[in-house]
Amino acid sequence: MFRFLIVLILLCNISYADDLQGIVKFSEDSARVEAFKDLSRKVSKEIFKDYLKDKYTKENYINIKNKNYYIESEPKRNLSPFYMFNTLAVYSVRYDDDLNKVFYYNVLGHLVKFEINDYDGNYPYRTVAYDRKGNIINTTFTVSHTESFIFDKNANLIGHWFDDKFFDKNGKENSLYKRISE
């Protein structure tokens, strides 16, 4: 009986050490629960009313064309271009004074969508995309630097990023999507 207790104590300690050092793993279902926990399905338009039109459209477009994705003049901001058939389709702007919001604009500088994330320097975190009316489009639950789950507004899996590969809801790799390293 004494040996059994010693083995049990050792196993508990090993398990505890694994929990401290291990990586939290999420299944599709557990990621879905976290992605939609306490989620606001609609947000006030007040959050983004000042961003309906990109005030720096021309400057941002020129910088994207010149592959200058960080603007050091005020307001400081990061730009990310998204191309379709080698043509700029949409670009995003993340201002340094509020890194938890990203605004997506078409080439004319009109807001297409915006995202709010709860990233505080730690994983996992959630990003929620909203349309111009403040309605949820989708949510992304980012597990780590290399893994995230994307769900539509009804909590259906859109896809799963793992490393630089995107897998659709059926687990089939989709080569149309490629993660761009930051």
What digits encode the pLDDT tens for the residues 159-168? 998 887 888 8
What SS3 class is residue 131? coil
Does the N-terminal peptide bond of residue 124 adopt cis geometry, omega within 30 degrees of 0?
yes
Query: Which one has a higher pLDDT value, 152 or 178?
Result: 152
Q: Would the pLDDT of 5 be above 60?
A: no
Residue 97 confidence (pLDDT) above 70: yes
Q: CB burial class (10 A; 0-12, 13-18, 19+) of residue 150?
A: buried
Per-residue DSSP letter, 127: E
Which is higher by pLDDT, 6 or 168?
A: 168
Write out pLDDT tens, residues 20-49: 334 568 899 999 999 999 998 889 989 899
Residue 53 has pLDDT above 80, yes or no: yes
b or e along 51-63 (b: 16 or more beta carbons within 10 Å of the residue's beta carbon)?
A: beebebbeebbeb
Concatenating the DSSP letter of every residue in 17-81 gives HHHHHSPP---HHHHHHHHHTT--SB--GGGTGGGSB-TTHHHHHHHHHTT--EE-SSSPEEEEE
Please state the pTM of the whole predicted model.
0.78
- Strands 157-162 vs 165-168: parallel, antiparallel or unpaired: antiparallel
Give residue 176's pLDDT: 61
Q: Which one is predicted more confidently, 6 or 114?
A: 114
Asked if residue 12 has pLDDT above 80, the reply is: no
- Please say if the pLDDT value at position 8 is more than 90: no
131: exposed, middle or buried (Cβ count in 10 Å: 0-12, 13-18, 19+): middle
Please tell me the predicted confidence (pLDDT) of residue 164.
Answer: 78
Supply the mean pLDDT for the chain. 84
Task: Please give the backbone phi and psi of residue 149, each rounded to the nearest 5 degrees, phi first.
Answer: -115, 140
| Residue 119, pLDDT score | 94
pLDDT at 84 over 90: no
